Structure 1
Amino acid sequence: MEIGEALKITRKKLNLSQSEMAGDVLTKSYYSKIERGIHEINAQDLIDILNLHGIRIQDFFEEFNFEKNTFGKSNFDNLHRLVGNAYYQKDTDGLLKVIDAIDKFPNSQNNRLARGLRVEAKLLYQGLKYGPEKIDDETIKEVKQLMFNSDNWDELSLNLLSISIPVLKIEELNSIIGSLISKKAPSATSIRAKEIISSILINFLDKAYKSSFLKGKSITLAFKWLEQVDPSLKNYCFLKIYTNYYHALLSGEKNKTQRIREFLDDNGMEDLTRYLAR
């Protein structure tokens, strides 16, 4: 169940109008679009609305067929969405509120999903607040421990690797990428895992170029993996563009990289070219 739908059910149980439910947290118009699934709600606003009506976030999740008094997969999925929203909106307070919500689950200290999501939110918070270079060693150590606490690179490990690329040294990342690709062939990987791995490999190639790490087995394997990904991925088109761009960049084909940037700019995608290495 989507969070907007759960909010609507909760509001009706409380016999409140949309304006009353939103209070002074959101406008009635914006809140209405959240209930209808047009907009997503960020972590800070969700928790503020629930607090306004005396509802604990863990009780809110448990109400809708989520695990009773435990942190399970359903809780992870919903809170992970809030973490992503908070990060992209640069909402550091929202990230702190998600961390606080995770801590209130009775089993959060001994639950790998809860610990993984908590350290993910913590790393993103520190990165936004202080910059990637100032993320503390304890957080990086915990990320690595949880990342490697799975022999098969599950979704949690992949998520942690994805967000930790800025703080890992290129030599260390090179070794990790080699291990990942050796265990995760595109043909034997779920759609969701393919999407995460594709993003990881593009970011790895970007960091390799910026670090003047232009050759290596992992770079060759990364391109080979990306070239085998099937068109079923929702971001397949952009994935192919990025793959071709970084292949040209690492090969020194400046004219080709310029043509790709011009193509993106001419089609109204200047925001994408802004973050491409040059």
Structure 2
Amino acid sequence: MEIGTQLKKIRILLGLTQKEFCADIVTESFYSRVESNRSNISMAKLIEILNYNHVSLYDFFKPIIQEQFEDEVIIAFIDQDVSKLKKYSETTIDGHREIIKLMAAILENKDFKVSKDCLEQMNNFVQTNDLANEKVLIVQLLLAHLSPIEDLDQIVQRLSYASSINKDNLSLRIIAQTLLVCAQRFYKDKQYESAKKALGLIDDLPNRSVLTLEKVLSKYYKALISGDAVQSKKIEKVLAKIGYEKYLKNKNGKYADSISFYL
């Protein structure tokens, strides 16, 4: 599905002209090229146009979620490899391209708005589907990045039993990363008990080599919370030595600071 084709379909259903639909967020001539799939629109502008017209981003993602993502894309998102995500976005099918752009925008702390309606629909998708489904876990990870801080306890609770029904390595990594994102955001907000709960669930995951990084980062945040400067500095040095210092960028609360919510 081409994004321009989908935009045109929604605009016609709403009974709007191109000028009315793009609302000067982009020029009418540029928007016309987007609709005819001759120009690419940025994620920020796409979301702004959808929000202006009260169209949920979920409407774009729903058919994509129902398809299978390449494992390499999921791993790149978990590994915070923005360059790989951008590379994949250039070669994948158009629908997947947009959600990959969203993943990259999250990691780059790009300034964009996500509607409350979109978050509610994503939550409904998670709550009404089996957590053993990898696609549900991916949406759950996106929600951990995008949801307001007050909704994170529900995500942690939802994942408290997920490891018992997910045994494959990739699913366990998605679960661990989701819990880690929640813990990082709780730490930033000084909700230390909630952070420790999420970190404890990471510790309870199976001791597999693919989860080594998440388990080390769990120890790191526990050290920060307990004030163990010696342990936290030791872990910082180890991660920096092996080129993983990017995972420490969020310790001072830089996670999702620039993502706002359209209410």
Question: What are structure 2's unaligned runs of at least 5 residues?
Answer: 1-62, 253-263
Q: Name the CA shift for 1:82/1:245 in 2 (closer, same or farther; >3 Å).
A: closer
Counterpart Cα distance in 1 of 2:226 and 2:127: 32
- Tell me, yes or no, if structure 1 residue 269 matches structure 2 residue 248: no
| Structure 2 counterpart of 1:239, one-letter code | E
- Equivalent pair of 2:152/2:182 in contact (CA under 8 Å): yes
| Cα distance change of structure 1 residues 126 and 149 upon mapping to structure 2, 3 Å threshold | farther
Between 1 and 2, higher relative CO (CA 8 Å, sep ≥ 6) is seen in 2
After superposition, the Cα gap between the structure-2 partners of 1:131 and 1:143, relative to the gap in structure 1 and judged at 3 Å, is farther
Q: Deviations over 1:56-83 (max 9, x none)?
A: xxxxxxxxxxxxxxx89996234x6458
1:146 maps to 125
Give the greater-gyration-radius structure (CA): 1
Q: Which residue of 1 aligns with 2:69?
A: 77
3-state DSSP class of the match of 1:238? helix
CA contact (8 A) 1:162 1:200 kept: yes
Cα deviation digits, residues 100-141 of structure 1 (max 9, x gap): 644xxxxxxxxxxxxxx6884474376479836523444333
1:210 to partner: Cα distance: 0.8
Matched residue pairs, number?
A: 187
TM-score by length of 2: 0.56
Contact 2:85–2:100 under 8 Å retained in 1: no
SS in structure 1 at match of 2:128: coil
CA distance in 2, matches of 1:196, 1:93: 21
Whether the aligned pair in 1 keeps the contact of 2:82 and 2:107 (CA below 8 Å) is no
Q: Counterparts of 2:218 and 2:83 in 1: how far apart (Å)?
A: 27
Query: Counterpart of 1:243 in structure 2: which amino acid?
Result: S
1:95/1:260 CA distance change after superposition, 3 Å: same
CA contact (8 A) 1:120 1:160 kept: no
- The correspondence for 1:247, drawn from 222, 236, 255, is 222
- In structure 1, what is the equivalent of residue 208 of structure 2? 232
Are 1:169 and 2:163 matched, yes or no? no
Contact 1:170–1:208 (8 Å) recurs in 2: yes
> Contact 2:82/2:104 (CA < 8 Å) preserved in 1?
no
Indicate the percent of aligned positions where both proteins have the same amino acid: 16
Per the alignment, residue 259 of structure 1 pairs with 234
- How far the C-alpha of 1:223 sits from its partner, in A, is 3.0
Cα shift at 1:176: 1.8
Q: Which amino acid aligns with 2:143?
A: S
Deviation at 1:257, TM superposition (A): 1.2
- Please say if residues 125 and 136 of structure 2, whose CA atoms lie closer than 8 Å, have aligned partners that are also in contact: yes
* Residues in 2 aligned to 1:255 and 1:82: alpha-carbon distance in whole angstroms: 36
Alpha carbons of structure 1 residues 131 and 188: separation in structure 2 relative to 1, 3 Å:
closer
Once residues 260 and 199 of structure 1 are traced to their aligned partners in structure 2, the CA distance between those partners, rounded to angstroms, is 18
Local SS of the residue matching 1:215: helix
State whether structure 2 residue 68 is matched by structure 1 residue 89. Answer: no
Q: CA RMSD in A?
A: 3.8
Q: Kindly provide the amino acid, as one letter, of the partner of residue 191 in structure 1.
A: N
Q: SS in structure 1 opposite 2:192?
A: coil
Report the residue type matching 2:68 in the other structure.
F
Instruction: State the one-letter code of the partner of 1:89.
Output: S
Deviation of 1:274 after TM superposition, in Å, equals: 4.5
Question: Deviation at 1:273?
Answer: 5.3
**Which amino acid counterpart does residue 246 of structure 1 have in structure 2?**
Y
CA-CA distance at 1:170 after TM superposition? 1.8
What's the offset of the Cα at 1:248?
1.0
Change (3 A) 1:134 1:126: farther
Cα distance in 1 for residues equivalent to 2:104 and 2:131: 28
Q: Letter of the aligned partner of 1:271 in structure 2?
A: E
Cα drift, residue 209 of structure 1? 0.5
TM-score, normalised via structure 1 length: 0.53
User: 1:139 and 1:130, CA in 2 relative to 1: closer, same or farther beyond 3 A?
Assistant: farther
| Contact 1:123–1:139, Cα closer than 8 Å, also in 2 | no
